[in-house]
Amino acid sequence: MMENIYVKGLPLPGKLVEMISSGRWQAPKNKDLIKRLGIKEVELFALLNLAGIKNNSTQLRKLAQDGYGKSMGLVSDGSKILMTGYLDPTKALVIGATYSDEILCLDYSDSNNPRVVATNDTERGTRWVVVAEKFEELVNLLEL
């Protein structure tokens, strides 16, 4: 049985830990599957290992603290988000990204069973959209 792993105080889904450990947590070779997430730069998209999840999640929190929250669709006060399209980085973990600003996160704002959200650029700046209600749905969506 796999032990629980926490990053920034948030539990990683057991399936994600298992996939990272076994080397199966990799972006699909079929780039059309990545497009399902709304990712535009599919060639630059990567699913992150444990160190990448920790580092990128820290950076996302830092962006909000440094005043970039509004343009990135982030709120940094730790409160429950009342507006659709915003993400509290203290309740999120980055699990995938491109080398630009396209990001895939586990969103724990409602529970310890996170939904999966991705960035979506709009005229008002970056907003977050739900791409899967549960992590297992993401695995199925990407055919991993």
**What pLDDT is stored for residue 28 in this prediction?**
96
Between CA 50 and CA 55 the distance in angstroms is: 9
| pTM for the model | 0.91
Q: Is the pLDDT of residue 1 over 70?
A: no
**What pLDDT is stored for residue 36 in this prediction?**
94
Residue 131: pLDDT band (50, 70, 90) is very high
What average pLDDT does range 120-140 have in this prediction?
Answer: 89
For 2-60, what is each residue's pLDDT tens digit?
678 999 999 999 999 999 999 999 999 999 999 999 999 999 999 999 999 999 999 99
111 vs 133: which has the higher pLDDT: 133
**What pLDDT is stored for residue 100 in this prediction?**
78
Share of the chain above pLDDT 70, in %: 92
For 46-71, what is each residue's pLDDT tens digit?
999 999 999 999 999 998 888 777 77
Q: Is the pLDDT of residue 78 over 70?
A: no
Structure-token pair, residue 5: 């792993």
Residue 140: pLDDT band (50, 70, 90) is very high
Query: By the 8 A CB rule, do 132 and 116 touch?
Result: yes
**What pLDDT is stored for residue 34 in this prediction?**
95
Query: By the 8 A CB rule, do 10 and 108 touch?
Result: yes
